[in-house]
Amino acid sequence: MDRQDERNLTIRYLAWLYKTTKEAFDRYERKFTQLEIDEYVLKEVEKELKYSYLPGEKAPLEKFVNDFRSYIAAKEESCLKLKYKGKKVNPEFLFLDVKLNAIEKAIEKELGKKALQQIKEAYQTEMLKRIIEEKQEKR
């Protein structure tokens, strides 16, 4: 095995390590991000619907809004249970956070900042691709 083969193995391993750790970490973080977005969307929907319905539409619209509000509350409870064990932060979450930072430092050390940025961009592109393909399959 020559130096290029070794370098390629290093690149692939670091990319794999980043991907798997980032996916695990994202399982925690994405719910909190979703929660912030859901709360914003709820406020915007409530503002938009406040005076823009006919009298016969009020009850069905309120049901949808209340269902969404309940969904958000359940998600928030789920988030807190996932990230916290009692009053302490879940040790797995802390470990994944520290591990992800260490992996990013290892990538920078071995491959440089530009390579880290490329790996992050490739990860983002792959996650978006998965989301788009998943939506298409459900249609």
State phi, psi for 89 to the nearest 5 degrees: -70, 140
Residue 136 is predicted with a pLDDT of: 61
Please answer whether residues 69 and 42 qualify as being in contact, where contact means their C-beta atoms are separated by less than 8 angstroms.
yes
How far is residue 97's CA from residue 104's CA, in Å, rounded to a whole number?
A: 11
> pLDDT category, 108, cuts 50, 70, 90?
very high
Total structural domains in the chain? Answer: 1
pLDDT digits (tens, 9 = 90+) for 39-85: 999 999 998 888 777 777 777 888 999 999 999 999 999 888 888 88
Residue ranges making up the domain that contains 20: 3-138
Distance CA 56, CA 38 (A): 26
Q: Would you say residue 137 has pLDDT above 70?
A: no
